[in-house]
Amino acid sequence: MAPDKIRRRFLACCSGIGLGGTLLPGVLWAQLQQDGAQQVTPEMLKAALGLSGLSFSDTDQNSVLQAVNGSLARYEEIRNLHIPNNVAPPFYFSALTPGMKVNRTREPLRFTTPAVKRPANLEDAAFWPVMQLAQLIKTRQVTSTELTKMYLARLHRYNEKLNCVVTFLDDVALAQAKQADAEIAAGRYKGPLHGIPWGAKDIITVKGHKTTWGSGAYKDQMLDEEASLVEMLRDAGAVLLAKLTTGELAQGDQWFGGQTKNPWNIEQGSSGSSAGPASATAGGLVAFGIGSETSGSILSPAARCGVTGLRPTFGRISRYGVMALSWTQDRMGPLCRYAEDCALVMSVIARPDGRDLSVSEIPFNWNAHLDVRKLRVGYLEGAFEETRDAAMKAIEERTLDQVKALGVKLVPVKLPEWSIDTSSIGVESGVFFDDLIRSDGDKRMTNPGRANSFRSSRLIPAVEYLQGQRARSMMMAKLADATADIDVYLVPANQGAGGGGGRGRGAAPTGAAATTPAGGERGRGGAGANRSVVGRHFGMANLACYPALNVVNGFTEAGTPTNITFYARPFGEAELLALGKAYQDATGFHLKHPALG
């Protein structure tokens, strides 16, 4: 076969991933199957090496050829092995850098206990913070069944507008609510989530029900497992109302049922990929939602829909029973209406489960009465000066003044120099969806073009992947040094992560999980993907696994929410949420909600 033809066929199939400096014959293996051949030929190998920019002597190429052909049987065995979705590689990423100190002492949880009175019309409580709803239930002014029926009615009524539900779970919800009421009546109150209705992003597995991952390729998928966080919330007495929408395979807000909408402007998508949890929470259709983030999928829809979205530290919450995009970047987190709501949910699900071995034993020590004046608070130097829109600039300057008024001193945080994209999304998602690609299942996808990144991941040699992870460690150390004297710091919401527009900071990051105009996984999150200070920081903090909190800080002239992002160092969620709560208590922006009619 002519070398040019080999190269064209090779490109059509994509290349193999490198191992130990050689190229795995992943796609050469497909070439062999197609041709009915038994061995990789020198021509095939030469074409593969050329694609990787490598040139070896004839002697070295012969050695590589022998090694590749000698491994073909092992590759066939691996490809014929069924690997369940919940099996991760046996290496576990850590958000901690050498020398980073965290509080490993478990302390009592301290929540507020608001005084509440049942409204004449229970639906008036649809937008209440979770702790207020919890007090209604604890004081037996409202039953879980009443609250559940109210939220189910709103879900059914407004889903036609928002398109935020994949699967209604009315029977499940009413049974769980009935059980909660019986337990509470018997004096077995489990805590503030007991009887509280919630919704799960549809990459989270609920046994006995479909988990579609938002894709036409998986719209009938039934997985015989239960996500750990579903079990934890059920054990705490929470009531699951629905499987809420996700952009297809955790990208954007487009799924096989259409586009999920923003309750503040139903002509606009909700952003994603935690599209449903953000939309439903913002619309008062659930008390809270659980979403996931790899690179923007909580922060982006939280900003667009004007809710309080927490992206926790990597290793805080188990991902067992959840679709994977990146085993070294994926995080689960709550989308709520109030910072303390996020803390309440975290207090239940932020713990090891013995299944996801990346989850840390570091405790989440929430104290609603923390004196925020004792926190070391900063702002990202240069980021606020980038804003060109006058109205947005005024909102951001007001935000800094409001934080100062809490009694804290704002100190500048300088972003360290770093321009190398070290993301792992492309390789790791390509591994997770390898069966989909090799079985041509991508042809059944709602957006088949989404699969291009999975194919192209085979062009990334393993040596480069691992070297990129080493470079990521270097970047993490630089960011840790830059934030060493800070507990929490403020950054304008990334333009690519939804929110009120007009910041004028350039294009959003793009990459392996390319975004739609409505938002989604914000590309690979690489530090060099966006040259603005805000964009570079977004990529670095994401890959360094820093927790972040989206908070509404005002509204545009059109009445849509604008946002600020609070960041903390790894495992600093308690301080992060404490400052967010103090800001919300002082400003009240979180209390405003959309009118759905």
What are the catalytic residues? 201, 273, 297
Q: Which residues pair with 550 in a beta bridge?
A: 309, 565
| Pairing relationship of beta strands 288-293 and 197-201 according to DSSP bridges | parallel
CA distances from 160 to 235, 282, 417, 446, 480 (A): 32, 15, 47, 20, 46
With beta carbons less than 8 A apart as the criterion, state whether 162 and 264 touch: no
3-class SS of residue 309: strand
CA distances from 274 to 135, 296, 358, 380, 425 (A): 28, 9, 22, 26, 17
**How many CA atoms lie within 13 Å of 535's alpha carbon, on the beta-carbon side?**
23
User: φ and ψ at 244, to 5 degrees?
Assistant: -95, 160
User: φ and ψ at 159, to 5 degrees?
Assistant: -65, -30
Query: What gap in Å lies between CA 263 and CA 283, rounded to an integer?
Result: 6
CB atoms closer than 10 angstroms to residue 78: 8
With beta carbons less than 8 A apart as the criterion, state whether 529 and 544 touch: no
Query: What gap in Å lies between CA 409 and CA 99, rounded to an integer?
Result: 26
First to last CA, the chain: 67
**Helix 58-70 to helix 72-80 angle, to the nearest 10 degrees?**
40
Positive or negative CA dihedral for 298, 300, 305, 310? positive
Q: Which residues pair with 200 in a beta bridge?
A: 243, 290
Of 413, 367, 380, 362, which is closest to residue 571 (Cα–Cα)?
A: 362
CA distances from 575 to 363, 568, 578 (A): 13, 8, 5
CA distances from 258 to 285, 291, 508, 536 (A): 19, 19, 23, 32
Element (H, E) at 327: none
Calculate the CA 356 to chain-centre distance. Answer: 16
Of 366, 291, 271, 362, which is closest to residue 331 (Cα–Cα)?
A: 291
Query: What gap in Å lies between CA 522 and CA 524, rounded to an integer?
Result: 7
| DSSP label at residue 322 | B
3-class SS of residue 52: coil
DSSP labels, 499-511: SS------PPP-S
What are the tokens at 532?
A: 């603005």
Query: What gap in Å lies between CA 310 and CA 391, rounded to an integer?
Result: 26
